[in-house]
């Protein structure tokens, strides 16, 4: 077009560091448009878009997942396997008397921190599976546990998004 420049498409290899997040801009020096009047070329900026994971939700370098456990495991505690981002399984200890909403932390099982500050954690949020249609034997066992008196219904102030009075 008379400007002394030629438009050219090229493929570049760009090193993407571990731990990048959506919205991050990576600068590739000297790979942008040609400079004006014979000046040096500009920089290329690569905008990162990280796809969501099917199991984990990201919060910085930390990963969150939900683990549904049965009443027996919540009540008595025990070990359970949870997947890690690297494809391996991690054995974690569910404490005796675990409650819905309790969070178990697996240290350094998250993503690398971009600032070189180590690894994030994996936070496992517990939910309790309750059978919708318990069988006769299950019903007898649950009634027996309920008769011990520890499961009496009670109301506390609070609502969605509010901190229960016991935790204030």
List, for residues 107-154, the tens digit of each pLDDT value: 999 999 988 889 999 999 999 998 889 899 988 888 887 777 665 666
The secondary element (H helix, E strand) that includes residue 81 is: strand 78-83
**Edge-to-edge strand order for the sheet containing 62-70?**
57-59, 62-70, 122-129, 103-106
The predicted structure's pLDDT at residue 6: 73
CB 110 within 8 A of CB 119: yes
The 3-state DSSP class for residue 89 equals strand
- How far is C-alpha 141 from the geometric centre of its chain's CA atoms? 35
Q: What is the pTM (predicted TM-score) of this model?
A: 0.76
- CA pair distance 77, 96, nearest whole angstrom: 4
């Amino acid at each position: 077009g008379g400007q002394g420049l030629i438009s050219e498409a090229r493929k570049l290899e760009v090193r993407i560091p571990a731990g990048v997040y959506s919205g991050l801009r990576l600068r590739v020096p000297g790979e942008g448009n040609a400079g004006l009047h014979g000046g040096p070329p500009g920089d290329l900026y690569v905008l990162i878009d990280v796809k969501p994971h099917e199991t984990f939700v990201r919060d910085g370098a930390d990963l969150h997942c939900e683990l549904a456990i049965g009443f027996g495991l919540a009540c008595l505690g025990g070990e359970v396997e949870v997947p890690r981002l690297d494809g391996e399984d991690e054995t974690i200890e569910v404490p005796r008397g675990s409650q819905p909403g309790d969070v178990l932390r697996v240290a350094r099982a998250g993503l690398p921190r971009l600032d070189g500050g180590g690894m994030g954690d994996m936070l496992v949020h517990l939910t309790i599976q309750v059978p919708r249609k318990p069988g006769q034997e299950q019903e007898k066992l649950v009634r027996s546990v309920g008769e011990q008196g520890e499961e009496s219904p009670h109301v506390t102030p609070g609502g969605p998004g509010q901190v229960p009075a016991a935790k204030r």
